[in-house]
A and B are shown apart, each in its own frame.
Chain A
């Protein structure tokens, strides 16, 4: 399906001195010309109220994300630049010039971003080091990883705030563990839970597991206005979901955290949450782009990815396991447990221990 023309930022990304292509340089945090090297500073963190949050109003009509193709005619070479799906920024396939699409629908427009601070060489090294540091990986894995390259992507994220008034029903074991009778005690209670800046990926490239591996600290003070200059030279994905859909995707994380808080509130070991009800209010959100380097590789026909935070270089990802190594470790541990048990059994037989 081919859609209409894609309004895009391109001329503004060209060098004012020589007309060359400019890309965002993570080292200098500036838009740098690839021809003459001239640099131009971009909007600083906190400018333009970048950290502002927006109130979610459930009654509002939900915009539907467009997934059709959008075509932009390159102003440098005249070639066709096609934006498919949720692609927001890319390079012209003919002249390699950066083109950043302008999101027409304010319901999907990124509100702020954190620019790349980690260069591709560091990201590649960190991704390789992460894989190298794994236990029980196949011996020839580094060969597969060594051939892979990293790609920089501004990935779409949400932050959500909310107040939860929780009423819960839980139970815990009341008897001492050596008792023959297992008595469960039911308990109900109420509590308040505050969520602040819960990060939720809005892209298939970053799973919640990878998010928690690479994004340890999120500081709203480091948010910059979503200036197209930061995206120049990097791929960027727009939010392919409405706020409502983002909240729905966030539900399982919220559920997990609320249950953990309830167990902590009950304060008994092994407490189980039977059910809970929550009255959610004060939902606020941000639509953000966060910088992620992604290394895709294949091993034994299966695709894997390692993500590196473009903010601080922290790496986390997916990797295969070596069946032989798992069995070797398993064998060692099983033998150790068996010998420890046998020694105990032999001693117990002579001493009357249980």
Chain B
């Protein structure tokens, strides 16, 4: 039971940190949304405004990954095994995010 509480507490800390760090990404999200809707397609200004959108994917991806470790830990009560199982997941998430970052030019 104490592991579940510890996982919930860690989840609260991660959520708080992600909220604070994510404000910038949310601002970018809004700018990208507005640029895609309102700026001339294919224009340099639109390209400049959209550039950097991968920060949103990185923020969401990292938060989701940390949540998955905490979910595993909370349900099994075994942090070491949860971290071990998250290795392959981390690799997949990192590769996906890398692909997003590479296509963000």
Contacts and interface: CB of A to CB of B under 8 A. Distances in A.
Interface string B47-77: 1110000000000100111111111111110
A270 B102 contact: yes
Interface residues of B, number: 52
A178 B66 CA distance: 21
B74 A346 contact: yes
B12 to A, nearest CB: 9
A331 B19 CA distance: 5
B43 interface: yes
Nearest to B41: A216
B22 A334 contact: yes
A212 B40 contact: yes
Interface centre among A212, A323, A326, A344 (most CB of B within 10 A): A212
Contact of A211 (B20, B25, B45, B75): B45
A341 B82 CA distance: 13
A342 B75 CA distance: 9
A3 B84 CA distance: 78
Contact of A330 (B23, B76, B82): B23
Contact of B88 (A134, A209, A354): A354
Interface of A: 134-136, 173, 177-178, 208-213, 215-216, 252-253, 256-257, 259-260, 263, 269-270, 272, 316, 321, 323, 326-327, 329-331, 333-335, 337-346, 348-350, 354
Interface of B: 11, 14-15, 18-20, 22-23, 25-27, 30, 33-34, 38-40, 42-49, 60, 63-76, 82, 85-86, 88-89, 92, 95-96, 99, 102-103, 105
